[in-house]
Chain A
Amino acid sequence: MHKAKNVLKGIAKNFAVSFFFVAFFAFLFFLFGEKQIKPYFSLASNLSYSTIKKENTDISFDSVQKRLLDYPNYGTIWATLKIPTLNLELPVYHGDTLDLLRYGVGHLAGSYFPGEGGGIVLDAHNTDEYFGTLPNLPIGGTIILDTIYGEFTYEVTETKIIHQTDEASLPVKTSEETLMLYTCYPMHYMGLTSERYVVYAKLIGADYES
């Protein structure tokens, strides 16, 4: 019993010394090293899909500030684009990456949302299923954006053929709310084209809940 006690005492002493060393290292680390490492850890931890997705149904519109109180998640559907003249009804996604464009209309992230008073850029492929029939939409034609927070009606004011690099023709800051539908041009073409077809439309009616 006495022998075991002495052995345990020796081990405990060694452990205590080791613990003191580690505590000293930890002290030095938290004093000098953690500040350098923490931002990288934070960056790595934030580069993740773990963010809890919001429900788009919670999104509402502030009519006084003229802005959304919360924005849809990237890659989710937040509206339906309706063009009665062309018999088109397409889902509108937040974001316009090529994978989203396979399923519907993309909304250029960074451009405004309906009701906010700026330029809204929506783009889609130029097949008949999507924006391939846009040249058949006349000036004065109606475009409806049925969003999760209200319905917005636009009237076509102009159409243009631009070069793919002509970003000035897709202004985000505009004096009045402008909807821009954007697709590749010419339609039904083989390969990739460098021209783009743009439909401009102004807001003529809005029906939303504040």
Chain B
Amino acid sequence: MKAKSIVFYISEFLLTIFLFLLLACILLQATLFNASFMQSIITRENFVSDTTAQIEEEFSYYILQSGLSEEVLNGLITESEMAANIEEYVTKFYNGEEIVIATDELQTRLEDNIVTYLEQNNIVVADEASLDQFVKEIVNTYKQNVEDAFSFSLVQKPFIKIKNILPFGLGISVLLFLGLAIFSMFFCKRENLSIPLLATGLLYGCIWYYLAQNLDMKNFYVYTTAFSNLVKGMYEIIHNHIDIIAIIFLVSGFLSGGIYYFFKVMKEQKIKSVSGAKIP
């Protein structure tokens, strides 16, 4: 009997771990490792508009020192094109394909704009090399900004490795959880999952609280505004999901335990009444 109790509590402990891992895998697969989730955050956080605005602003820095007019930047990048490019980068990122930022079209447009501007204003440029330098700088600025805006590409390799491992992790967690639950149902006469549910809910609650206390992401800023907002948006949603998991599992744990003990007490009462024992 004592050995059975020990096995029961050990199985409860292991069930908690497996349930925790199972939920962690589901949470990560549904959020961070899900291209649709990333796309939804990109839309929610105005990632495309912020990136376009940032690039346009940086382009304008070079106008002042170039002696050219802002006109040469007209139509250089558009939000719709940027949105299409970003969508392509996200898809490639999640598929583990190499992300190459195309700049040829931008360069051609800029060169055409400069030629038109110089012709319209009858300007003869003595040194073409300085204009080439300007074009090169603008193209590099674009490339650098897109790279910075989607800085996740820096961690693409380990990201894809984890993404590929996650389904196995999920499968193993499910199998271990179900296997152990069935084993303890027969061996330890388990009739409810209240303890693993409560413990998992409490664990997620603690993680939520720990993150809220120790990770100040409200003013987080790295690389660019667009990228920072993307990270903040993702963190916010994942943090909220952790909170929801904690609440759901705590409630389920209490309900599962409550229902189980309610019927257990009813059953005991029925047995006692049938056997004629005095019911207080």
How many interface residues does A have (CB within 8 Å)? 39
Please give the distance in Å from A14's CB to the nearest CB on chain B: 5
Residues of chain A within 8 A of B202, CB atoms compared:
18-19, 21-22
CB-based contact A14/B220 at 8 Å: no
User: Is B94 an interface residue when CB atoms closer than 8 A count as contact?
Assistant: no
Once the chains are docked, how many angstroms separate the CA of A17 from the CA of B272? 29
Known: A3-B266, A21-B199, A41-B214. Is A98-B62 also a contact (CB below 8 A)?
yes
> For chain A residues 31-49, which have a beta carbon within 8 Å of chain B?
38, 41, 44-45, 47-49
Q: Is the CB of A125 within 8 A of B65?
A: yes
- Asked if residues B61 and A192 are in contact (CB atoms below 8 Å), the reply is no
Bound-complex Cα distance A2 to B261 (A) = 12
**CB contact under 8 A between A3 and B61, given known A17-B195, A21-B199:** no
List chain B residues, Cβ under 8 A from A7.
258, 261-262, 265
Is the CB–CB distance between A191 and B219 below 8 Å? no
Q: Name the residue of chain A whose CB is nearest to the CB of B261.
A: A10
Q: Helix, strand, loop or mixed for chain A's interface?
A: helix
Within 8 Å of chain B (Cβ to Cβ): is A194? yes
B277 contacts chain A at the CB level, 8 A cutoff: no
| Interface status of B131 (Cβ within 8 A of chain A) | yes
CB-defined contacts of A14 to chain B, threshold 8 Å: 194-195, 198, 253, 257
Pairwise interchain contact B216-A50, C-beta atoms closer than 8 A = yes
Spot the interface stretch: B122-130, B145-153, B170-178.
Answer: B122-130
How many residue-residue contacts, CB under 8 A, span A and B? 133
Q: B134–A192 contact, CB under 8 A?
A: yes
Which residues from chain B contact A26 at a C-beta distance below 8 Å? Answer: 206
Task: Determine the chain A residues whose CB is within 8 A of the CB of B67 once the complex forms.
Answer: 188-191
A25 within 8 A of B: yes
Let me know if B64 and A21 touch, CB within 8 A: no
A191 and B133: CB pair below 8 A?
yes
A193's nearest neighbour on chain B, judged by CB, is B130
Question: Interface code A88-126, partner B: CB below 8 Å = 1, 0 otherwise?
Answer: 000000000011011000000000000000000000011
Measured between alpha carbons, how far is A22 from B120 in the docked complex, in Å?
74
Q: How far is the CB of A97 from chain B (nearest CB, A)?
A: 8
Q: Which residues of A contact B229 (CB under 8 A)?
A: none
B interface residue numbers (CB < 8 A to A): 9, 12-13, 16, 57-58, 60-62, 64-68, 118, 123, 125, 127, 129-134, 137, 194-195, 198-199, 201-203, 206, 214-222, 253-254, 257-258, 260-262, 264-266, 269, 280
